[in-house]
Each structure stands twice: as C-alpha cells, then as structure tokens.
Chain A
C-alpha cells in the first residue's frame, strides 16, 4: 500500500506529528494529575490519588454542572438565533441580501476571541451600550447588572458560536429538496405546515450536529467566562486556570483539566448516541 502511494507518508507526517505532540501533552497532564501538590513550589511530589478525591466537593460539582448548563443553554439559544439567519441566507431571492448575510454572519469568525469579548464588555457594562440606551429611552433609572452574570456570559457565548451554527444549518437547509416542499404545498400544506413538517425535519441532521459542535465548543470556553463572568461565573476551564495560575496548584489544575476533557468527550458521545438514534428514526440520510 505504501509502495503504491509513495507520498502517503509525506502527506501524513504533519498529522502524525501533531497527534504525537498532543498525546504527549495529554500524558503530561495525566501524570501531573496523580502527583502530590507541594505548597509554595512548582515542583510536584510523589504519586497520589488525593487530587481526584478532592474533586468530590459540592463547589467543584457545582462548577461542573454550571459548565454543562451554560453549554447547553448556549447551544439551544445559538440554534434559535441562527436558524432564521441561515434560512434567510440560503433562501433570499436577491443576491446582495445573501452576500450581505454571509459576510455579516461569517466575519465574527475572523476577529479574535479577546476582541469579541472586549466588545461584549463594552456592550454589557454598567455604562455600556445597552444600559445607556435603556437609560436614554427612560426605561430604567438604575443600570441593570449584565456583566458578571450567567446571562451576560451566555449572550456572548451564543454570539461567538453563531457563525459555526449558521454554516452548519445553512448547509443543511441548502440540501433540502425544493420539490419536496413544493410537493407538500401541492398536497395542501400551508407555508408554516411546509416548514414544520418538511423543511425542519429534513434539516434535523444539521440541527443536531450544530448543537453537538456548539455544545462541545462551549464546554471548553475560557476567555469569555473569564472576562465577562469575572470570577463570579466559573466554568471548568476558569477553575483549572484559577488552581493552576493563582493557587499554583498544578496537580489539581491538571486533574480538573482531565475531568473537563472526560466530561466533554463523555457528553459528546452521549449526544452522538442520542442524535444517531433520532436520525435513524427519521432516516433522512
């Protein structure tokens, strides 16, 4: 096989290299997680399982649960916000409407996470865009607390995840056979019935993969909850950061990272099973 494809190894080399380095890094995290913490020192002590035992405290379970909750909320709201945009993007009759929507929904991908988070801080702050607008309109007297809230974090995360969600949904919507929709209308389905009974079910694979991707992506979110949550909203990666770089307890940070990784992979596997079952029931593909 290798003789038949002489470039095979050359082409594979970068992927293999990346995989090896990643595996080494994960192994390093793994071995840190079973070391003793030596207070006041970056060096670690002997082998121990104490770090894992320490996890079993309400505060850590709470952060883990919150991470799940925020990821799920983000995935759901990202879906709700993205579907209409993706639909308009695919179905708009005018070319310029379509290109405008494409650029509007894709450009956020090309601004860094920090820049986008900072813009959200400007928007959500007590003197931020939203509060000053509401105050000028006379709707509120006192600024509402948006920064350092779960709401603010989710709003920012939703916006970050929308480009990916829109791309996945638009692909699914573009693949819907227009004749199927015409057939439904021909059989007496009103425009809304056509959407709920034909278009939406046919785009379900895209919806499911969008939710899975955004969920997994948000599970590992760091700078958004860090900056907008400001320590009041902790996601698992913020907790790991806190332990590793404030308390300098690298072994425990490693344990948390490992648990975050396992949880992300576990929930991905779970979602894959669920979505696989739904897809098989609908047999869209």
Chain B
C-alpha cells in the first residue's frame, strides 16, 4: 500500500513536457540547437549523446537553471519558460547528487516538503514513505557523508520524488557508481519508474543504459536531435550514420547502388560486386538509388575460406577482440575496408589466426540503408 502511495496525480494520457524549438547559445557556440520534443505522461525518456552534445544544458533549461536563448518549454500545459526554478515542481537528481552535507538523511529528504510548508506530521509521513520506498530504513539520522555511493544515490532519488514532481530529471545519476552497483541501480530505477509512474527524463552517454531503461531514446549530437525512437527501433532503424555508429557496433559499407533484377533486390558495391537481399528491404531501397549500407557484426558470419556462395567476400584477419561470451573479429576486405564479425565463443581465435584469410557471409536482411549524404 505504501508503495502505490506516491503515484503521479495525473497519469492520464497526454503530454507532460513540450519542448518547442528550444535553443541555447553560449556566445557564439551552440549549446542546444532548436530542439523540439514531446514527452508523454508517465514516459521514461532518455537523452543520449556524446560528451558536450548539450544534454545537461537541455535538462538545465527544463529545471530552470539555464535560460533558453529562444523557444518555449511547456509542462503540464503551462508555459514555464520564464518561471523561476523554485516554482517549477520539477524533481532533479544531479550527477554529483548535491546532497546537503550539513543535514542528515531524514532532513535532506524532508527539505522539499518543508519548503512547501507542509504540516510536520505530513512531512514525517511522506519522508517515511520515501525512505521505505528507497530502502533507506535505519539511515535516517546518518550524515550523507557517511553513506556509500549507492546509498547517496537513493537519498538523492528519495529527495527528488518525495515532492511528487511533475517531471523527474536524472542527469547521469549512475555514472559515479561502479559497474555492479550501476546494474543494480538500473533495475531499481526502472522499478521506481514503474511504481511511481513519474514522467522521467534520464541523461546518459552510456548506450547500454539507454537501451535497457527507456521507453524512448532521444539521440543528440552537437546540440541537435538526431533521432527519437524506441530502443528496438533505434537499434534496427537508425535514422542516420551518426545514430547507426553511436548505438552499438556497426559496419559501414562503402556507397553502392540499389538494383532490382528478376525480382531480386541487390546492392552493387563497386569493385566487390552485388550483395543480394533475401527479401527486398522495406525502407531505403529504390532501384538506381545510391545508398550506404550499415550492417551489425552479428549479421556478418565467418565462413571457411574458399566456400563460395551468395554475399561471401574474403578478407584478411587483422585482430580478435575476445569478450568472454563472444569474440569480435576484425577483417580487412578489399573494396570494403574494415569489417567486424561477432561470433559466440572463442574458437575463431584458433581457426582463423591473425593474418589468415577468412570468408565473410553478409546477411543483408537486417541491413540499414541510408542516403550517402547522411
């Protein structure tokens, strides 16, 4: 019962956050370039992109710490672009947690409620709930400096959700944790999101984290949005070369021409020949069109040298990258360049030593075709 108590009051359908052509310039440098984004109520959205792409700046504009150069931010139907941060009712967890070092765990969590001048009894009730929810029982009187990283993380989350914010902002909250704790906190984060139903905007530059946690991912680069999509769609159908190579590993083939002959669709690479599609691709394919194909390493299969067949090319093994459950093998293919293939186990290290020639079969059923300009 206590767990369902902190439920977002308005979990009906509709948009919680509307970001309309928001822009932030730092002098002549662009922090965020004309970003438009609609986030639905209760959605878990991740801002993903390389360092310096404007994620924190965008988050800061939603929280009110950064004033946009242009554009508008609407939360729950109200334009908050010019509203002071303390009137916004938006919860935030900072990368450094920013817990108050001069207060204990209880007072840190109670801070937002006290600022709202709630009666003491209600403050105690809500704090106790948040403490139970974040499994912080027994730590109430502890100084925040005496907590482990994971516990501090929980206090920061409890402090942000206890005020029942309209939106929860998380700026790389897991980046300071070690790998095991990070995995555990990922699980707790999605559990928290499920329990509270809070509209959440999560910032990370870790694509694995983004893929496993999000309803939708917003990929950013140099201040601009590259693609907004659900994790599976993002992985399968990246909108451009940047997204394709930022999300997971991918092989970029050189530009080629689409051809359709006798009902067979193929990609003709100059100097290599035609690569055949098992079925005509749904998107990006048009006879005569110049395209670049992107192919995941798991769709490139090593075959014995000399084994002929459709879509088989031969190259020279350059390196093996053993990763436990699987091995990534780098092969240099003439006319194509570096191609990576991923196979389970480590047998390939012995069967195709560095310098040996290796055949590669391309499975184009999952290939992504993009404009040569992208």
Q: Which positions in A face B, CB cutoff 8 Å?
A: 177, 179-180, 182-191, 193-194, 197-198, 201-202, 204, 282-284
Contact = CB atoms under 8 A, between A and B. Distances in A.
Interface of B: 63-65, 84-92, 94, 96, 98-102, 111-112, 115-116, 143, 145, 159-160, 163
Contacts of A202: 101-102
B94 A184 contact: no
A223 to B, nearest CB: 40
Contacts of A183: 92, 94, 98-100, 159
5 closest residue pairs by CB, A with B:
A187-B112, A188-B115, A179-B98, A183-B98, A185-B85
Secondary structure dominating the interface of A: helix
B96 A186 contact: no
Given A186-B85, A186-B92, A284 B111 contact: no
A179 B160 CA distance: 14
A70 B162 CA distance: 49
A188 B86 CA distance: 4
27 contacts: A177-B96, A180-B99, A183-B98, A183-B100, A183-B159, A184-B100, A184-B115, A185-B64, A185-B85, A186-B85, A186-B86, A186-B88, A186-B90, A186-B91, A186-B92, A186-B160, A187-B111, A188-B115, A189-B111, A189-B115, A190-B86, A191-B86, A201-B102, A202-B102, A283-B101, A284-B101, A284-B102
Contacts, number: 73
Contact of A283 (B64, B91, B92, B102): B102
B62 to A, nearest CB: 11
B85 A179 contact: no
**Central interface residue in B89, B96, B111, by most chain A CB within 10 Å:** B111
A279 B145 CA distance: 14
Nearest to A200: B102
Contact of B98 (A182, A189, A204): A182
A180 B98 contact: yes
A191 B89 CA distance: 15
B111 A179 contact: no
**Central interface residue in A184, A186, A189, A283, by most chain B CB within 10 Å:** A186
Contacts of A186: 63-64, 85-86, 88, 90-92, 160
A185 B115 CA distance: 10
B94 A182 contact: yes
A187 B115 contact: yes
A188 B112 contact: yes
A173 to B, nearest CB: 15
